Amino acid sequence: MIKKAYADTPSGQMHYYYGGPQEKPPILFLHQNVSSAKAFEPTLQMLVDQYHCIALDLPGFGGSFDPPSFDSISALTGYTMDFIDALGFEKFHLCGSHTGAGMSAEISSLHPDRVLSCIMIGALLFSEEQTTQFKAEFGGSAAPSFDTNYVKETWDYVYDIGGKLDLGNMHEEFTGALRNWRVRDMIFRCVWDYPVRNFLPKIECPTLLMCAPDDVLYPGHQNTAATMPQAKAIEVKGMDMEPNLDPKGVSQGIKDFLFENNLE
């Protein structure tokens, strides 16, 4: 059973989903921009019979508090470490998607003595040319307006990144995106300058890279795999929404990876 709870942190309450044997170090799931922790729920359902899983809503998403303005993704990693410390976890695994993948890399580089493994879905390592392209295409989010144009813009955005593959998931992601427009905008304005390439060489733990070939961030996955030959790299399905559209592939990838590294 997947349950919900809140953790009190110095900055505010953070909402999360959890399940599985709590005597084990948890796998902490960090969602991508646009989504929320709920995106991991289908994957968690396939893991909690064996693993302690926690998926948190980052500040500004889902049921978590709304943060003040920020201009660096590192602000989100700070909030995440506050969450981890509030729950008292000394050792943990990380599994991040897109923005969450970059955050997983940063936390792993900063806390090598605490992170047992690092799993990145849609890693964020890009060339200068690729970064320029992403900045131009993903530069912000539509703000609420009385003419409701932002509703159509948000719907079209979610549809194009994978919502079109499943109507139920489309609805969940769309309604979540309406809630998180403010923080989503802040993330889009700084995520492409996130210095992920500085974090990767400092990751000491076993690393798994996953991505769907039709994910918009697949080039970042390929670049990361080339930079980290020691990491295991696999392909899954689901466009930009692998955890909720291919939970079988993602969960099996995690199980195999943890088994191979004696981390079960």
pLDDT above 90 as % of the chain: 94
Q: What pLDDT sits at residue 137?
A: 86
Mean pLDDT of 217-230: 96
pTM of the model: 0.95
Q: What pLDDT sits at residue 248?
A: 97
Q: Which CATH architecture has domain 3-128+192-260?
A: 3-Layer(aba) Sandwich (3.40)
Three-state SS annotation for the chain: CCEEEEEEECCEEEEEEEECCCCCCCEEEECCCCCCHHHHHHHHHCCCCCCCEEEECCCCCCCCCCCCCCCCCHHHHHHHHHHHHHCCCCCEEEEEECHHHHHHHHHHHHCCCCEEEEEEECCCCCCHHHHHHHHHHCCCCCCCCCCCHHHHHHHHHHHHCCHHHCHHHHHHHHHHHHHCHHHHHHHHCCHHHCCHHHHHHHCCCCEEEEECCCCCCHHHHHHHHHHCCCCEEEECCCCCCHHHHCHHHHHHHHHHHHHHCCCC
Mean pLDDT of 103-119: 98
Q: What pLDDT sits at residue 264?
A: 81
Q: What pLDDT sits at residue 150?
A: 93
Q: Residue 136 above 90 pLDDT? A: no
Closest CA to 90 of 26, 38, 33: 26
Q: What pLDDT sits at residue 232?
A: 97
Judged by average pLDDT, the poorest of 11-25, 47-61, 125-139, 199-213 is 125-139
Q: What pLDDT sits at residue 113?
A: 97
The band of 69, judged by pLDDT with boundaries at 50, 70 and 90, is very high
The band of 1, judged by pLDDT with boundaries at 50, 70 and 90, is confident
Q: Indicate the domain borders of the chain.
A: 3-128+192-260
Q: Residue 139 above 80 pLDDT? A: no
Mean pLDDT of 47-72: 97
Convert the pLDDT of each residue in 11-24 to its tens digit: 999 999 999 999 99
Convert the pLDDT of each residue in 182-209 to its tens digit: 999 999 999 999 999 999 999 999 999 9
